[in-house]
Structures are given as C-alpha cells and as structure tokens.
Amino acid sequence: MKPFIKKCGLVLTGGALQGFGMGVFLFPQDIPSGGAGGIAILLNHWFEMGMGPSLWIVNFTMLTLGVQYLGKRFALWTFVGITMTSLAVDFFESTFPIVHRHLLLDLVIGSVFLGTGIGILMRQGVSNGGVGVIAFMISHGRNILPGKPLFLINTTIFIVTAAVISWEIVILALVSQWISTSKVDLVYRLKLYHVYTLSWHKKT
C-alpha cells in the first residue's frame, strides 16, 4: 500500500507541476506547452473553450489511442495525471494572476515547471497525456529517452498551430520545448528514489 500511495502522490505532483507551468506562465503568453497544448489553443481560438477543458479533451482523445498498445493500467495512471493537470491549469490560471509580466521569464520558468512535471510522470511509467503517449511508446519501443520524440512530434503540431494563429509563436514554442524536454530527460535520468511502477506491456 505504501508504494502505491507514493506513486499516487508523485503522479499528482507531476500533473500539478506541469499544470502550474502552463496555467501561470505559458498559456497567458499564448505559448503552447506541447502538441496537446497547441491543439488546445486552437480549440480555445475556434470555440472559445477554457484551456483546462480543452487540454483535457485533447489529452483524453490521445490517450485512447495508446490503451490497446500500453494497457489499461498505464491508461488509468495517465488519466489521473492528465486530469490533475487540467484541474491545475484552471486553478492556477484564476488563483495566481501575474500583473507585470516578462515574456522571457514566463517562457523559461513555465518551461522548467512543465518539464519537471512531465519528467516526474514519465519516471513513474506514466505519460503526460496528449502526444506524450506516442512519445512514450516510441521511447520504450526503441529504448531511447522520451524527450527527443516528444520534441519532434510537438514541433510538427506547433507549425500547424502557428499557421492558423500566428507565426510569432513558433520560436517561443520551440524554445519552450527545448527547455522542457531537456528537463524531462534530466529528471528521467535521476535515481534519487525507488520507483514503484505497475507493469505494462504490449498486448498480444
């Protein structure tokens, strides 16, 4: 029971940290937090949906694509993570408004929190949702760190999002992804605590 509680705590912490980075620093500057964030910004732009619900819809849709490959246990933990993230985005957006903003500070601080949260989730064998599910599948299938495939997939979505909204966000989004995915790989390498994981495997 104790390892299970520890895993729950870390998954919730990872989701809250990335939600904090998104809701307080990145989304107010219209900087996509990732591929799912880019799609969520498009939903917000087209349908005026809140960023929290938009992000959850995108993440849940992507998650359904990975259930058959990664298994129901993986999907369940990822569902917990993406739900916590969306709740955190809504909470922090409304609770911690910043009056005097600085674009570069928001970019760096938000990206560090984002990458830390994602790294904690992936250390637990949990995806951050969205295209992270696909990146997680590639990472384990090819035995590579998850930051690189996450960066490549997100970059493609950024270009599409920028073409619809504004090309100015591309550079900011790419810098954010470089910082956050570097942080993902750094946290993923850490061996400061024992990781309790529910086993997952490719279904036959």
**Domain extents in the chain:** 2-189
Give the pLDDT confidence score for residue 78 in this predicted structure: 86
Q: Please report, in tens digits, the pLDDT of each residue of the chain (204 residues total).
A: 788 899 999 999 999 999 999 999 998 888 887 788 888 888 888 888 888 898 999 888 888 877 777 778 888 998 999 999 999 999 998 888 788 889 999 999 999 999 999 899 988 888 777 777 777 778 777 888 777 787 788 788 888 888 887 787 788 888 998 899 899 888 878 754 444 444 444 444
The tokens 């922090």 sit on which residue? 92
Give the pLDDT confidence score for residue 116 in this predicted structure: 95
pTM greater than 0.85: no
Phi, psi dihedral angles at 188 (to 5 degrees): -65, -30
CA distances from 31 to 5, 45, 110, 135, 170 (A): 34, 13, 10, 20, 9
Distance CA 54, CA 32 (A): 13
Burial class (CB in 10 A: 0-12, 13-18, 19+), 140: middle
Distance CA 149, CA 19 (A): 21
Give the pLDDT confidence score for residue 21 in this predicted structure: 95
CA dihedral 61, 180, 85, 83 (to 10 degrees): 30
Distance CA 195, CA 191 (A): 9
Give the pLDDT confidence score for residue 165 in this predicted structure: 79
